[in-house]
Amino acid sequence: MIKTMKRLIDRKKLTFLASLTFVASVSCANAQEAVQSKVLASNLKHPWGMAFLPDGDILLTERNFGNIRRFSFDTGLSNPIKNVPESVSVNQGGMLGLTIDPEFTENQTIYFCYVKKGNGGHSSNVAKAKLVNDSLADVKTIFTAKPLLNNGYHFGCRLGFDDDGYLFITLGDRNKYRKEAQSTDDHFGTIVRIHPDGSVPSDNPFVDGKAPEVYSYGHRNVQGLVVHPETRVLWAMEHGPRGGDEVNIIESGNNYGWPVITYGTEYSGRKITDITEKEGMEQPVLYWTPSIAPSGMAFYHGDKFPDWQGDLLVGSLKFRHLRRVKMNGDVPGEEIEYLKDLNERIRDVIIGPDGLIYVLTDEARGKLIQISPSS
């Protein structure tokens, strides 16, 4: 099993397919669990994000084709939703994360992040729209990450709501602009917080600055975001370079250190910095060296895997597995790898209302997969 380094921080308080089923391997010799996996849909074009609707259907995005699609357990995978704004598939960009409004049952509103080109380059943009049958209506862009750059890397872009109804958006450092992650005057390497209409909350920590949407900074490329199902605290996960992937508890105004402190190195092996800790900069709850290239995260909550309650699930792009981190509160423990037999990059993971686990594989012919306990 890949060596994993951990640190506890001091914080403030299916197209529809016939069932393809197999039992996935588990990497750790002392692990007794096995899981059963079923392919629900395939031939997806680099699927990236997903969310459950109140009726039990799943909305998902296809990065390369700029699509939003709907999966129904009764009728299978829909055609692409109509009236979706055009996105630009540039390197890591395209149609990325999405979430639904906490009041979706009343307002049928969804939010999605997509990359588009504007004056000066490309940028992550968040739009809201009403989902009406197989089409979007009242589409409105409510946030644009600034400044725009001719650069196709490190866009972020996960979306999520907290219990107070604020919308959080994760944003990357755009690769060559890593030093800007230490600035709160732009959106590089930040997590931003806005109201659902795009306006800025008056209690944001940098509300009087040039980028008042910024909630936390010092991030590299955040691609996991979740509110803990029990503590209701916001957690995020970001890609390091060569090593130094991080899982963090996110709090208002905090600096998470990139690139001043990191446990990673350049892809060439050259040092980025000589320090891993500095006063005023947060330490991760968990980090991986070497990198596992994590993307998508969820805390298990449900009744199908009772021994997994509160454990952290993350997808690994690099090593092509679903990783379970056993948690004792906020303290990480043993790690177990699943779905290695798939040999596909795991892009996203969510927990369904049925207590089962759902993942997307980021491939040219990607899959939506349901995970249940092995019989």
Domains of the chain: 4-373 (2.120.10.30)
Set 154, 187, 239, 321: catalytic member: 154
Look at residue 27 in the predicted model and tell me its pLDDT. 39
The predicted pLDDT at position 20 comes to 41
Structure tokens at 136: 């979007």
Q: What pLDDT does 8 receive?
A: 44
Is position 154 annotated as part of the catalytic site?
yes
Residue pair 3/335 in contact (Cβ under 8 Å)? The answer is no
Contact in structure between 66 and 95 (CB atoms under 8 Å): yes
Task: Give the pLDDT confidence score for residue 1 in this predicted structure.
Answer: 39
Spatial distance between the Cα atoms of 187 and 211, rounded to a whole number of angstroms: 7
Total length of the chain: 375
Strand 214-217 with 222-227, pairing: unpaired
Tokens of 129: 């729209």
| pTM over 0.85, yes/no | yes
In 3D, which of 316, 348, 317 has the Cα closest to residue 99? Answer: 348
pLDDT at 120: 87
- The three-state secondary structure class of 308 is helix
pLDDT of residue 4: 45
290 prior amide bond cis, ω within 30:
yes
Low-confidence ranges of the chain (pLDDT < 50): 1-32
The three-state secondary structure class of 217 is strand
Q: What is the pLDDT of residue 34?
A: 84
For 184, the 3-state DSSP assignment is coil
**Cα angle for residues 148, 149, 152 (degrees, 5° grid):** 120
Q: What is the pLDDT of residue 154?
A: 93
CA atoms of 88 and 47, how far apart (whole Å): 15
Could you tell me the strand order of the sheet in which 331-338 lies?
294-299, 312-316, 321-328, 331-338
- Backbone torsions φ then ψ of 106, nearest 5 degrees: -90, -35
